[in-house]
Amino acid sequence: MALTKTIFDGLCKEITTGKLKPGEVLSRRQIATRYGASYTPVIEAIVRLENVGLVETQSSQMARVRTVSIESIESNYVLREAFETQAIRLACESATEREIEELYQLAQELDALVVKQIKNASRGLKLHWRFHKRIAELSRYRVLAVALERTHLLQLLQSNWIVVPDPDEPLRYHSLLVDTIRDSDPESADAAMRSHVRSGRDREIAGYRLSIQQ
Protein backbone atom coordinates (compact mmCIF):
# COMPACT_ATOMS: atom_id res chain seq x y z
CA MET A 1 0.00 0.00 0.00
CA ALA A 2 2.81 2.44 0.85
CA LEU A 3 4.53 1.86 -2.49
CA THR A 4 1.23 2.20 -4.35
CA LYS A 5 0.69 5.58 -2.67
CA THR A 6 4.23 6.68 -3.50
CA ILE A 7 3.73 5.85 -7.18
CA PHE A 8 0.26 7.43 -7.21
CA ASP A 9 1.52 10.64 -5.59
CA GLY A 10 4.50 10.83 -7.94
CA LEU A 11 2.47 10.33 -11.12
CA CYS A 12 -0.28 12.64 -9.86
CA LYS A 13 2.28 15.43 -9.36
CA GLU A 14 3.80 14.85 -12.80
CA ILE A 15 0.37 15.01 -14.44
CA THR A 16 -0.89 18.07 -12.58
CA THR A 17 2.35 20.02 -13.08
CA GLY A 18 2.50 19.28 -16.80
CA LYS A 19 5.54 16.98 -16.81
CA LEU A 20 3.32 14.28 -18.27
CA LYS A 21 1.25 15.57 -21.19
CA PRO A 22 -2.43 14.88 -21.97
CA GLY A 23 -2.64 11.73 -24.07
CA GLU A 24 0.83 10.52 -23.04
CA VAL A 25 0.96 6.75 -22.62
CA LEU A 26 1.88 5.45 -19.16
CA SER A 27 4.25 2.51 -19.57
CA ARG A 28 3.78 0.09 -16.71
CA ARG A 29 7.24 -1.35 -17.33
CA GLN A 30 8.97 2.04 -17.27
CA ILE A 31 7.09 3.13 -14.15
CA ALA A 32 7.91 -0.14 -12.38
CA THR A 33 11.60 0.25 -13.27
CA ARG A 34 11.69 3.88 -12.14
CA TYR A 35 10.18 3.07 -8.74
CA GLY A 36 11.89 -0.31 -8.31
CA ALA A 37 8.48 -1.95 -8.03
CA SER A 38 6.61 -4.94 -9.38
CA TYR A 39 3.68 -4.44 -11.74
CA THR A 40 1.10 -4.85 -8.97
CA PRO A 41 1.56 -1.49 -7.15
CA VAL A 42 1.98 0.25 -10.52
CA ILE A 43 -1.35 -1.11 -11.75
CA GLU A 44 -3.01 -0.21 -8.44
CA ALA A 45 -1.66 3.35 -8.68
CA ILE A 46 -2.89 3.70 -12.27
CA VAL A 47 -6.35 2.47 -11.23
CA ARG A 48 -6.41 5.14 -8.51
CA LEU A 49 -5.41 7.78 -11.04
CA GLU A 50 -8.23 6.60 -13.28
CA ASN A 51 -10.67 6.81 -10.37
CA VAL A 52 -9.81 10.49 -9.78
CA GLY A 53 -10.09 11.19 -13.50
CA LEU A 54 -6.46 11.92 -14.36
CA VAL A 55 -5.92 8.78 -16.43
CA GLU A 56 -7.86 7.03 -19.18
CA THR A 57 -7.52 3.28 -19.65
CA GLN A 58 -7.74 2.36 -23.31
CA SER A 59 -7.35 -1.38 -22.78
CA SER A 60 -6.23 -3.79 -20.10
CA GLN A 61 -2.67 -3.15 -21.25
CA MET A 62 -2.66 0.60 -22.00
CA ALA A 63 -3.36 3.70 -19.97
CA ARG A 64 -2.72 7.33 -20.84
CA VAL A 65 -2.95 10.75 -19.25
CA ARG A 66 -6.44 12.11 -19.71
CA THR A 67 -6.79 14.20 -22.85
CA VAL A 68 -8.11 17.76 -22.71
CA SER A 69 -11.16 18.58 -24.82
CA ILE A 70 -14.27 20.72 -24.69
CA GLU A 71 -16.16 17.63 -23.52
CA SER A 72 -13.71 17.00 -20.64
CA ILE A 73 -13.89 20.65 -19.59
CA GLU A 74 -17.68 20.68 -19.67
CA SER A 75 -17.90 17.38 -17.78
CA ASN A 76 -15.63 18.68 -15.03
CA TYR A 77 -17.70 21.84 -14.64
CA VAL A 78 -20.94 19.84 -14.46
CA LEU A 79 -19.48 18.15 -11.38
CA ARG A 80 -18.21 21.44 -9.95
CA GLU A 81 -21.58 23.10 -10.36
CA ALA A 82 -23.37 20.25 -8.58
CA PHE A 83 -20.91 20.07 -5.67
CA GLU A 84 -20.35 23.79 -5.20
CA THR A 85 -23.96 24.94 -5.34
CA GLN A 86 -24.87 22.35 -2.71
CA ALA A 87 -21.86 23.30 -0.59
CA ILE A 88 -22.66 27.01 -0.56
CA ARG A 89 -26.32 26.39 0.24
CA LEU A 90 -25.31 24.38 3.29
CA ALA A 91 -22.63 26.91 4.24
CA CYS A 92 -25.38 29.55 4.45
CA GLU A 93 -26.92 27.53 7.25
CA SER A 94 -23.81 26.57 9.20
CA ALA A 95 -20.98 29.12 8.77
CA THR A 96 -20.15 31.21 11.84
CA GLU A 97 -19.37 34.94 11.75
CA ARG A 98 -15.68 34.24 12.33
CA GLU A 99 -15.57 31.72 9.51
CA ILE A 100 -17.31 34.15 7.17
CA GLU A 101 -14.77 36.86 7.99
CA GLU A 102 -11.92 34.44 7.27
CA LEU A 103 -13.57 33.53 3.97
CA TYR A 104 -13.83 37.22 3.11
CA GLN A 105 -10.07 37.56 3.56
CA LEU A 106 -9.47 34.76 1.06
CA ALA A 107 -12.00 36.25 -1.37
CA GLN A 108 -10.47 39.70 -1.18
CA GLU A 109 -6.99 38.35 -1.85
CA LEU A 110 -8.33 36.44 -4.86
CA ASP A 111 -10.19 39.46 -6.19
CA ALA A 112 -7.04 41.56 -5.82
CA LEU A 113 -5.18 39.20 -8.15
CA VAL A 114 -7.78 39.86 -10.84
CA VAL A 115 -7.87 43.62 -10.30
CA LYS A 116 -4.08 43.89 -10.43
CA GLN A 117 -3.94 41.40 -13.33
CA ILE A 118 -1.22 39.43 -11.58
CA LYS A 119 -0.24 36.60 -13.92
CA ASN A 120 0.85 34.05 -11.35
CA ALA A 121 -1.09 30.94 -12.30
CA SER A 122 0.36 28.78 -9.52
CA ARG A 123 -0.47 31.28 -6.78
CA GLY A 124 -3.90 31.97 -8.23
CA LEU A 125 -4.85 28.31 -8.55
CA LYS A 126 -3.72 27.52 -5.01
CA LEU A 127 -5.65 30.45 -3.56
CA HIS A 128 -8.70 29.66 -5.69
CA TRP A 129 -8.68 26.08 -4.44
CA ARG A 130 -8.36 27.19 -0.80
CA PHE A 131 -11.35 29.49 -1.21
CA HIS A 132 -13.68 26.96 -2.85
CA LYS A 133 -12.53 24.10 -0.63
CA ARG A 134 -13.22 26.27 2.42
CA ILE A 135 -16.81 26.83 1.29
CA ALA A 136 -17.19 23.06 0.95
CA GLU A 137 -15.76 22.58 4.44
CA LEU A 138 -18.20 25.13 5.85
CA SER A 139 -21.04 22.94 4.57
CA ARG A 140 -20.02 20.55 7.41
CA TYR A 141 -20.12 17.65 4.93
CA ARG A 142 -16.61 16.36 4.30
CA VAL A 143 -17.84 14.33 1.32
CA LEU A 144 -18.34 17.58 -0.63
CA ALA A 145 -14.76 18.71 -0.05
CA VAL A 146 -13.48 15.26 -1.05
CA ALA A 147 -15.63 15.22 -4.20
CA LEU A 148 -14.48 18.72 -5.11
CA GLU A 149 -10.84 17.58 -4.90
CA ARG A 150 -11.34 15.53 -8.07
CA THR A 151 -12.48 18.55 -10.06
CA HIS A 152 -9.50 20.50 -8.72
CA LEU A 153 -7.03 17.88 -9.93
CA LEU A 154 -8.53 17.98 -13.40
CA GLN A 155 -8.36 21.75 -13.42
CA LEU A 156 -4.68 21.57 -12.49
CA LEU A 157 -4.08 19.19 -15.40
CA GLN A 158 -5.89 21.50 -17.82
CA SER A 159 -4.22 24.67 -16.51
CA ASN A 160 -0.85 23.56 -17.92
CA TRP A 161 -2.20 23.59 -21.47
CA ILE A 162 -4.88 26.30 -21.41
CA VAL A 163 -4.45 30.02 -20.80
CA VAL A 164 -7.76 31.11 -19.27
CA PRO A 165 -8.82 34.73 -19.89
CA ASP A 166 -9.38 36.94 -16.85
CA PRO A 167 -13.05 37.23 -15.81
CA ASP A 168 -15.03 40.14 -17.17
CA GLU A 169 -16.88 40.41 -13.89
CA PRO A 170 -17.45 42.84 -10.98
CA LEU A 171 -14.31 43.64 -9.01
CA ARG A 172 -15.71 41.71 -6.04
CA TYR A 173 -15.83 38.52 -8.11
CA HIS A 174 -15.41 36.13 -5.15
CA SER A 175 -16.47 38.43 -2.33
CA LEU A 176 -19.99 38.49 -3.79
CA LEU A 177 -20.23 34.77 -3.08
CA VAL A 178 -19.34 35.36 0.57
CA ASP A 179 -22.03 38.07 0.75
CA THR A 180 -24.70 35.45 0.10
CA ILE A 181 -23.35 33.23 2.90
CA ARG A 182 -23.30 36.18 5.30
CA ASP A 183 -26.92 36.95 4.37
CA SER A 184 -27.91 33.31 5.05
CA ASP A 185 -29.68 33.23 1.68
CA PRO A 186 -29.37 29.73 0.15
CA GLU A 187 -31.33 30.63 -3.00
CA SER A 188 -29.18 33.66 -3.80
CA ALA A 189 -26.05 31.67 -2.90
CA ASP A 190 -27.05 28.86 -5.25
CA ALA A 191 -27.68 31.29 -8.12
CA ALA A 192 -24.45 33.23 -7.50
CA MET A 193 -22.31 30.09 -7.36
CA ARG A 194 -23.99 28.60 -10.43
CA SER A 195 -23.25 31.79 -12.39
CA HIS A 196 -19.68 31.85 -11.02
CA VAL A 197 -18.94 28.26 -12.07
CA ARG A 198 -20.50 28.67 -15.51
CA SER A 199 -18.48 31.81 -16.11
CA GLY A 200 -15.33 29.83 -15.31
CA ARG A 201 -16.44 27.08 -17.70
CA ASP A 202 -17.03 29.52 -20.54
CA ARG A 203 -13.65 31.19 -20.02
CA GLU A 204 -11.84 27.86 -19.89
CA ILE A 205 -13.49 26.70 -23.10
CA ALA A 206 -12.55 30.02 -24.75
CA GLY A 207 -8.96 29.50 -23.58
CA TYR A 208 -8.96 25.96 -24.95
CA ARG A 209 -10.16 27.12 -28.35
CA LEU A 210 -7.41 29.73 -28.47
CA SER A 211 -4.78 27.17 -27.44
CA ILE A 212 -5.61 24.72 -30.25
CA GLN A 213 -5.41 27.53 -32.81
CA GLN A 214 -1.83 28.34 -31.88
Distances (CA, A) of 34 to 6, 18, 38, 40, 115: 12, 19, 11, 14, 44
pTM, 2 dp: 0.89
Residue-wise burial string across 19-58, b where 16 or more C-beta atoms lie within 10 A, e elsewhere: ebebeeebebeebbeebebeeebbbbbbebbeebbbbbee
Span 71-87, average pLDDT = 96
Biggest distance spanned by C-alpha atoms of the chain: 56
**Co-location of 59 and 134 in the same domain:** no
**Co-location of 57 and 81 in the same domain:** no
Summarised one tens digit per residue, pLDDT across range 129-159 is 999 999 999 999 999 999 999 999 999 999 8
Strands (E), the chain: 25-26, 55-59, 62-65
Instruction: Using pLDDT thresholds of 50, 70 and 90, give the confidence band for residue 12.
Output: very high
Q: Which domain-ending residue is among 24, 44, 65? A: 65
- What is the per-residue pLDDT for 165? 76
**Co-location of 134 and 80 in the same domain:** yes
**Co-location of 139 and 125 in the same domain:** yes
Distances (CA, A) of 170 to 112, 115, 183, 207: 12, 10, 19, 20
Among 121, 132, 101, 130, CA closest to 162: 121
- What is the per-residue pLDDT for 213? 78
CA 202, distance to chain mean position in Å, is: 15
Instruction: Using pLDDT thresholds of 50, 70 and 90, give the confidence band for residue 167.
Output: confident
- What is the per-residue pLDDT for 45? 96
Q: Residue 46 carries which DSSP code?
A: H
Q: What is the CATH number of the domain that holds 40?
A: 1.10.10.10
pLDDT > 90: what percent of the chain? Answer: 78
**Co-location of 60 and 146 in the same domain:** no
Domain hosting residue 41, numbered range: 2-65
Beta strand pairing call for 25-26 and 55-59: unpaired
**Co-location of 76 and 38 in the same domain:** no
CA 46, distance to chain mean position in Å, is: 19
- Say if CB 16 and CB 156 are below 8 A apart: yes
Q: Among 61-65, 91-95, 112-116, 162-166, name the one with the lowest average pLDDT.
A: 112-116
- What is the per-residue pLDDT for 151? 94
Q: Which domain-ending residue is among 65, 93, 112? A: 65
**Co-location of 57 and 86 in the same domain:** no
Q: What is the CATH number of the domain that holds 187?
A: 1.20.120.530
Q: Which domain-ending residue is among 65, 91, 115? A: 65
**Phi, psi dihedrals of residue 95, rounded to the nearest 5°:** -70, 135
- What is the per-residue pLDDT for 54? 95
Question: Helices in 55-120 by DSSP H: which ranges?
Answer: 70-94, 97-115
- Say if CB 72 and CB 153 are below 8 A apart: no
**Co-location of 54 and 113 in the same domain:** no
**Co-location of 89 and 7 in the same domain:** no
Q: How many domains does the chain have?
A: 2
The C-alpha atoms of residue 207 and residue 214 are separated, in whole angstroms, by 11
**Co-location of 123 and 199 in the same domain:** yes
**Co-location of 175 and 103 in the same domain:** yes
- What is the per-residue pLDDT for 62? 85
Angle at 22 between CA 16 and CA 25, to 5 degrees: 110
**Co-location of 173 and 209 in the same domain:** yes
